[in-house]
Amino acid sequence: MTADPRGGRGRAINGQSKIRFRFNGREYCAYAGDTLASALLANGVVLLARSFKYHRPRGIMAAGYDEPNALVQVGKGEGSQPNLKATEVELVDGLEAASVNCWPSPAFDLRSVNQMAAPLLGAGFYYKTFMWPDWHLFEGPIRRAAGLGVAPTGRDPDRYVHRHADCDVLIVGSGPAGMQAALDAAQTGVKVIIAEADFLLGGSALWRGMSDALETAEAKLRALGNVTILTRTNVFGYYDHNGLAAVERLCGGGASQRLWKIRAGRVILATGAIERPLVFGDNDRPGVMLASAAQAYAGRWGVLPGRRIVVFTNNNGAYEAAAALSEAGATVSIVDVRPQPSTPRLPGIEVISGAQIVAVKGARRVRAVAIAPVQGGPATTLPCDLVAMSGGWSPTVHLFSQSGGSLRFDDELQAFVPDRAVQPVTAVGAAAGDLEGLDIHACWEVPGKGKKFVDFANDVTSRDIAIAKSENYVSVEHLKRYTTLGMGVDQGKTSNVNGLAIMGELTGRRPDQVGTTKFRPPYTPVTFGAIAGPLVGDLYRPVKHLPAHAWHADKGAIFEEYSGWARPTAYPSVGESWEQAAQREALSARTGCALFDGSPLGKIEVIGPDAAKFLDRMYVGNVATLKVGGARYGLMLNENGVIIDDGVFVRLSAQCFLVHTTSGGVDRIAAQLEEWLQCEWLDLDVVILPTTTQWATLTISGPKSPSLLERLATGIDLSNFRHMTYREGSVAQLPARVLRASFTGEASYEISVAANDATALADAIVEAGADLEITPIGIEALMILRTEKGFLHIGVDTDGTTLPDDVGMAGPIAKKVSDFIGRRSLLRADALRKDRWQLVGLRTLGKALPVGAHVLRQGAVPGPIDGHVTSSYYSPTLRQPVALAMVSAGRARIGETIDLYDMGMRHRAIIVEPVFIDKEGDRLRA
């Protein structure tokens, strides 16, 4: 194990709490308060990673969320997380991390051979280089090489939660400006939330010698009851109506992350500024770091990242870092591109003005730099082990821009700063461009040899930008996509301004004329787990269970989801497939007696003096003339005349109707009934009462079902119980509603009892029908039965264009005098076309037709189609395949042989009437 040489010294670490962790298989020691990056630097680890495309050696460049190089995989197994920035990983005891995008190690990476192919891997190379003989020959290897870390493929073991919050003031960031804003707001008594991405409050105060003031401010805030402090919380998205989203990293054994959705009266952005790197030859070598990062490691964590440090800068801000590093014990020299820097000389620090670094010596870490005058001249070598660069500061404007605010280019700061806000948001401190006294001299690219990296995350060089310009990709959005500038894990936080400024120099435009790309959420990466939260597994889309779910499971049912309900697909016997079971079950309904659980069938009671008038306007069929105890089948249309639902409606009393809908459509239809009633027909005295889950509905169907009902029913007159009528009484000594209606084509009785009585009724039916060969049937058998009979299945045999006449339902319209929703649309020219697709049956001349097979016009492939197959099954009763289809002018083409096409296969079929069994309805009415 490697010992930490600091001895516990550092402003923000706990020297009394040692931590052991592993990196790339080797164990190290650090302290509580360290990040993975600070701990590795403290242990002398400089080479952490390899670059994305060229696999060049890379080290740590930043100290926070702007880190582009040091990406690691944290954890093992299904709980591991790829592509985390080492600068943001809070060190905990036992943590395991590894480098990504290198094999077998960052010290020796076989893929570094890519550097030899660098001339072929420039901007947009995949559009130009691998076009012959076929792009697909190269696509696989290129895509496999494009990844960084390894995403786990199994189930995520971590748990995530969501929380909603509101506040008067949300303050993003807790640096000096953020802390002062929080104190000012909190002292007025308003509700304040402070969100800080770091695990400590303070921002730059943590490493700039402001600890006393920080501790005082934090103590005051924590003592106030109207202030909520969220550390480890990254605000990543700013949306409409001052809605913001944040992810909080949680500690302990519970959930690992919490997604916050915050609605704020006002937002204060104290997000600071991002230091820009300078663009010079080999500026990506391990040991080249941002000056503020070097100062942060020395000041906050007590880690001196180099002993002989060259600070390369174009502004006064780097002089503070140079002084801090010198005070920490380093030998510091400053190379300043400005001929006459405005900052006073610092004791013990050499300043080389009017000069620039033109090259970096060393492969796996900095050994020296080559310095040359800006005005030209021979280069000299300056030994060093760290380059601390500062190309200026860019205010962190991402969230401000996401809010809809506009930006302007500040010539003095040489950066984009917030301008006009469109939501109640204010930027303060460095985020607002409050960075006086920097005296920045624009230096976007240093002339010289070697690769000059602009975007370190995606290996985008200044030459790539020049290539983009030469190929006319001068729009900032084209530049981004052609070169992948700003498309890495860091989203271009250190590279975007440099990149667009270099494009501006190449095209003779100012940076503000080049513009910026669109700032979109998330500001920093967010895990899919946090976004999903608890809505995973069974909670992703909760499925409702039948009242008798356990009973069906005991009978061997295979469950699948149908319209949000877990329903039996079939009840296979031992050694039987579900397909074979469905065939057996369907045959039992034709020859004996079947039991089907139809509890999810939509049930809505429509009650009131105007109930009949209301439903007459909603249904195609005539409702008002229905007698008490009678039932009718009806279609519901939308304003365009398109079928949206169907079902049987029953008149329970003079002022009460029971409306049945499709299982998946009940919520939608209930909402639509309410909308018409509350928004259009306020004069009608009607109440809408959904009752689906109050009732369990078990259907007995088949030629032996009348005999079975006689054994079960008491108090019900069965002597004249005709098809499409309704009775009330007792079934199996349970209060019941019984509707004689059929979706199988056989005599059927829908028995509805209280949901809690479902299992008792099912047991009674099975016991009473034992000698009648009672057979439970699932959804698949029901689909076979209804297809044999030619019964319509909304959403399967219809789509968003299907009108009543298309499915042979024009009769009720002709008989109805009163108006109904969609009636006028049925008179439009398109509705009266002779070539509309119409529901027909298909008798195949071979195997069962695949659902979706296209009806070919004149047998041509490809070409116009005349329809498609909507339902197709093998009929165990007819011992042949049967199918329903929508075919152009189908009713006029009965008897015609047609060609069908599906997935490269041709089929033939004969158009027939869409009824294959009991065309006269004798079995139905028996």
pTM for this structure?
0.80
> What size, in residues, is the chain?
926
- Structural domains of the chain, ranges and CATH numbers in brackets: 14-111 (3.10.20.440), 156-274+393-440+517-537 (3.50.50.60), 277-391 (3.50.50.60), 442-509 (1.10.10.1100), 544-600+694-785 (3.30.1360.120), 602-692 (3.30.70.1400), 790-925 (3.30.1360.120)
Closest CA to 893 of 867, 919, 875: 867
Rounded Cα distance, 806 and 802, in Å: 6
Q: Would you call the peptide bond into 804 cis, given omega within 30 degrees of 0 as the criterion?
A: no
- The 10s digit of each residue's pLDDT in 489-522 is 888 999 999 999 999 999 999 999 998 888 899 9
Q: Is pLDDT of 111 > 90?
A: no
Least trusted range by pLDDT, from 130-134, 401-405, 606-610, 722-726: 130-134
What's the pLDDT score for residue 139? 78
Report whether pLDDT(860) > 70. no
Question: Quick one: tokens of 126?
Answer: 């995949």
| Token pair belonging to 429 | 């401190």
Structure confidence at residue 132 (pLDDT): 72
The confidence score (pLDDT) of residue 140 equals 79
Give the three-state DSSP class for 882.
Answer: strand
pLDDT tens sequence across 525-555 = 999 999 999 988 888 889 999 999 999 999 9
Specify the pLDDT at position 811.
Answer: 85
What are the tokens at 581? 């079971």
Q: Is the pLDDT of residue 487 over 90?
A: no
Q: What is the pLDDT of residues 239-263, one digit of tens each?
A: 999 999 999 999 877 889 999 999 9
The pLDDT, as a whole number, for residue 60 is 97
pLDDT band at 4 (very low <50, low <70, confident <90, very high): low
Beta carbons within 10 angstroms of residue 705's beta carbon: 27
Question: Is the pLDDT assigned to residue 7 strictly greater than 60?
Answer: no
Give the 3-state secondary structure of 825-854. Answer: HHHCCHHHCCCCEEEEEEEECCCCCCCCCE
- The pLDDT tens digits of the residues spanning 201-225 come to 999 999 988 878 888 999 999 999 9
Q: Which of 481, 492, 523 is nearest to 67 (CA)?
A: 492
Confidence band for 116, pLDDT divided at 50, 70 and 90: low
What is the spatial distance between Cα 628 and Cα 631, in angstroms, rounded to a whole number?
9
At 501 the pLDDT is 94
Residue 606 DSSP SS3: strand
Asked whether the beta carbons of 389 and 405 are under 8 A apart, the reply is: no
Q: pLDDT per residue over 892-923, tens digit each? A: 999 999 999 998 888 999 999 999 999 998 89
Strand ranges, E, within 519-663:
544-545, 558-562, 565-570, 593-597, 602-607, 631-637, 643-653, 656-661
- Report how far residue 268's alpha carbon sits from residue 84's, in angstroms, rounded to the nearest whole number: 27
CA–CA separation, 86 and 77 (whole Å):
19
- pLDDT tens, position by position, 40-59: 999 999 999 998 888 899 99
The residues with which 700 forms a beta bridge, in sequence order, are 595, 749
Is residue 210 within 8 A of residue 221, CB to CB? The reply is no
Which residues are CB-neighbours of 232 under 8 A, at least 6 positions away?
A: 90, 196, 197, 198, 199, 248, 249, 250, 251
Residue 336: name the closest of 326, 321, 324 by CA: 321
- C-beta atoms surrounding 228 within 10 Å: 15
pLDDT at 247: 98
Residues 6+ apart with CB under 8 A from 79: 152, 156, 157, 158
CA–CA separation, 42 and 20 (whole Å): 13
Instruction: Evaluate if residue 859 carries a pLDDT over 70.
Output: no
pLDDT over 60 at 798, yes or no: yes
The secondary structure element, H or E, covering residue 591 is helix 578-591
Q: Supply the DSSP symbol for 521.
A: S
Q: Is the pLDDT of residue 68 over 80?
A: yes
Maximum CA pair distance of the chain?
A: 114
Considering only residues 787 and 113, tell me which one the structure prediction assigns the higher pLDDT.
787
pLDDT for 118 equals 64
Pick from 191, 172, 336, 179: which is nearest to 244 by CA? Answer: 172
Nearest to 90 by CA among 262, 257, 211: 257
Q: What distances in angstroms separate CA 753 from CA 332, 697, 733, 766, one per listed residue?
A: 87, 7, 11, 16
Instruction: Tell how strand 308-313 and strand 386-390 pair up.
Output: parallel
Residue 148 has pLDDT above 90, yes or no: no
3-state secondary structure of 264: strand
> Pick from 743, 724, 726, 570: which is nearest to 663 by CA?
743
> Residue 544 burial (CB < 10 Å; 0-12/13-18/19+)?
middle
End-to-end CA distance of the chain: 87
